[in-house]
Amino acid sequence: MRENDRHTATDADYDAVVVGAGFSGLYQLHRLRDELGLSVKLVEKANDVGGTWYWNRYPGARCDSESHIYCYSFNDEIMEEWQWSERYPRQPEVLEYLRFVADHLDLRKDIEFGTEVTSATFEEDTGTWQVETDDGETLSSQFFVTAVGCLSTPYVPDFENRDAYQGETYHTGKWPHDPVDFEDKRVAVIGTGASGIQTIPEVARADIEQLTVFQRTPNYAVPARNRSLDDEDWEEIQRNYEEIMAEAHDDGSGLPFDTARETAADLTMADIEAVLEPRWEEGGWRFLVAFEDLLVNPETNEKVSQYLREKIRGAVDDPETAEKLVPTDHYYATKRPPLHTDYYDTFNRDNVSLVDVTETPVDRFTTGGIRTEDGEDREFDMVIFATGFDAMTGTLLRMDIEGRNGLTLEERWADGPKTYLGLGVHGFPNMFTVTGPQSPSVLSNMPVPIENHVEWISETIGDLVEGGTPYIEPTGVAEEDWTEHNMDLAQETLYTTVDSWYMNENIPGKPTVFVPYPGGVDIYQDTIREVREKGYEGFTLADSVDDLGRRGESPQLGVFEAMELLHADPDMDLADLMEMA
């Protein structure tokens, strides 16, 4: 089946099956197919490319990264031919961009649209992945690459009696493709994360009758200050594009912005304002990177948070509403820091009200709306859930992935995700997870870690193919070490001081662990480059599946591994384990 038949490790339909046609999957398909000459099938649930930008089409949906850096940098033609129209692109423009890329690279012919992966099983006899889809097909491949995004399984809280509600309901992450009619409607929005903060002002501006916002945790939103980009702006960007992109790829957050100072701990509030005010006026994430120790030093962060609290108080007319909107229970940016356009002004409108559910909890849904615990029945024609996602692990766990020894990913991750470098999982040979858990992903400007991962995965697959080595898998020991390292790094930051989806805590029942890698994209990139240079340190490269099983536990069989083997094979006894160790 290979276009380039250089090795014969397996008899599979494809060299690689890739899941997901967003930023990650499109580039992955291109690299494996066009640069390595492999046969690749990409499976995509939606009817078009776009990933998150296909689904998140709620009013106001816009990228919080600036357009000129929220894009690929690997292809000069794409960079020259595409011109963004606004500082922050709206959802339709990002979607259009990804369509343009797919057409430019002629990717569609290898994508199966409207098809969902229902399971993926590593078959030990043949040493291949068997990928089943909802149309009853089974695709076999040597490599299995998940490019499913970090925020792709919408989450709707299980409010009591939710299904009895008879009005319209929408989730921001699964917005309909047909226009939604807001005219004269009484609308509720639940949730004030990045999506809620974008959609609330747009909904309020529509011809609604009234809007009620249900807020659990107030957020620190910084103005985006969007504007259109004209030809002159674009020429300026083009002149420096290579440098800008190189800076982004060399930065901890994937952003080409300078910090102002190492710390604010030694500054007075007046000094801090002098640093922050220009960044506040300029808008966007230059504000976020002003002080290097923002996320590790509580003194710096408290001062920045204080600055933001005053801004919120100054923007909202009614002092009581303002106080509800002021976050006091967490440090700035320890939850995903949103940008906003007119968010706080929205609460100065006569037809917009705020319900703080920590004071006035939702009791239940009724047929006509929402009853709060103060006994008030609030009637709505429409409820919009801006309640987030089963982030980072949710989509992977729903895919029913099974590795060696019949071990499922769900079992493997019962106590939280365990990976090596966020790229692979012990027990799951030849599986790669683009922007997987324990890689920088959501803590950075996403296209940067995406390109970084896709390139590493492609180079690795290239090395295996070239060297005639059919299998690769992280060792159990390397995985344990990386998982511990990730959590240790997180403990040094302020991220772990608050419940958030970074901490896996927005979904009831999920284990509390810090999921993304908090050490910075730059350091992370160096780490994975070095792993490759050292001959894939921490991975087992093997000629056979048996060999993987034998050598993958090196240097010695850990307790976790022993438990796993016992779980997978009830016939195994202590003597067998000793021999393997």
Size of the chain, expressed as the number of residues it contains: 581
Question: Which is closer to ligand NA7, CB of 387 or CB of 525?
Answer: 387
How far apart are CB 318 and ligand NA7 at their closest, in Å? 21
- Which candidate, 295, 288, 24, places its Cα nearest to that of 150? 24
Nearer to ligand NA7, 213 or 461 (CB): 213
Binding site for ligand NA7 (CB under 6 A): 151, 157, 172, 190-196, 214, 216-217, 336, 357, 386-389, 501, 506
- By beta-carbon proximity to ligand NA7, the closer residue of 35 and 329 is 329
What residues pair up with 111 in beta bridges, in sequence order? 42
Q: Which is nearer to ligand NA7, 204 or 386 (CB)?
A: 386
Question: Which residue lies nearer to ligand NA7 by CB, 192 or 341?
Answer: 192
One-letter amino acid of 572: M
Q: Which is nearer to ligand NA7, 121 or 172 (CB)?
A: 172
Q: How many helices (H) does the chain have, and how many strands (E)?
A: 18, 20
Closest of 82, 99, 66, 90 to residue 238, by C-alpha: 82
Q: Which residue is nearest to ligand NA7 (CB)?
A: 193
Burial class of residue 459, CB neighbours in 10 A (0-12, 13-18, 19+): middle
User: Counting beta carbons within 10 angstroms of the beta carbon of residue 317, is it exposed (0 to 12), middle (13 to 18) or buried (19 or more)?
Assistant: exposed
User: Are residues 198 and 222 in contact, defined by beta-carbon separation less than 8 angstroms?
Assistant: no
Q: How far is the CB of 552 from ligand NA7 (least distance, A)?
A: 35
Q: 């369509």: which residue's tokens?
A: 99
Min separation Cβ 426 and ligand NA7, Å: 29
Rounded to whole angstroms, the Cα distance separating 249 from 447 reads: 10
What is the closest distance, in whole angstroms, from the C-beta atom of residue 20 to ligand NA7 in the complex?
16
- What one-character DSSP code corresponds to residue 518? T
Distance from C-alpha of 59 to C-alpha of 175, rounded to nearest angstrom: 9
Rounded-to-integer distance, Cα 151 and Cα 502, Å = 11
Please state, in angstroms and rounded to a whole number, the distance separating the CA atoms of residues 565 and 553. 11
Shortest separation between residue 57's beta carbon and ligand NA7, angstroms:
12
CB of 190 to ligand NA7, least distance (A): 5
Smallest distance, ligand NA7 to C-beta of residue 507, A: 9
Distance of closest approach, residue 450 Cβ to ligand NA7, in angstroms? 13
Choose between 112 and 499: whose C-beta lies nearer to ligand NA7: 499
What's the min distance (Å) between Cβ of 319 and ligand NA7?
A: 22
Residue 228 vs residues 57, 66, 73, 234: alpha-carbon distances, Å: 20, 11, 22, 10
Residue number with CB closer to ligand NA7 (359 or 481): 359
DSSP code string of 224-279: ----B--HHHHHHHHHHHHHHHHHHHTSTTS-----SBS-STTS-HHHHHHHHHHH
What the block records as the tokens of 554 is 């090196």
Distance, in Å, from the CA atom of 573 to the CA atom of 578, rounded to the nearest integer, reads: 9
341 contacts: CB under 8 Å, gap ≥ 6: 60, 62, 198, 201, 223, 224, 226
Q: Which is nearer to ligand NA7, 49 or 383 (CB)?
A: 383
Nearer to ligand NA7, 102 or 190 (CB): 190
User: At 453, which helix (H) or strand (E)?
Assistant: helix 447-467
Residue 464 vs 513, nearer CB to ligand NA7: 513
Three-state secondary structure along 288-307? CCCECCCCCCHHHHHHHHHH
What is the nearest approach in angstroms of ligand NA7 to the Cβ of residue 59? 14
Residue of 480, 434, 472 whose CA lies nearest to 454: 434
**Least CB distance from residue 386 to ligand NA7, whole Å?**
5
| Dist. CA 544–CA 530, nearest whole Å | 25
Minimum Å gap between C-beta 169 and ligand NA7 is: 14
User: Least Å distance between CB 385 and ligand NA7?
Assistant: 8
Task: Give the whole-angstrom CA distance, residue 307 versus residue 273.
Answer: 7
Cβ(483)–Cβ(418) below 8 Å: yes
Cβ at position 132, least distance to ligand NA7 in Å: 29
Q: Which of 143, 214 has the CB closer to ligand NA7?
A: 214
| Bridge partner list, 377 | 371
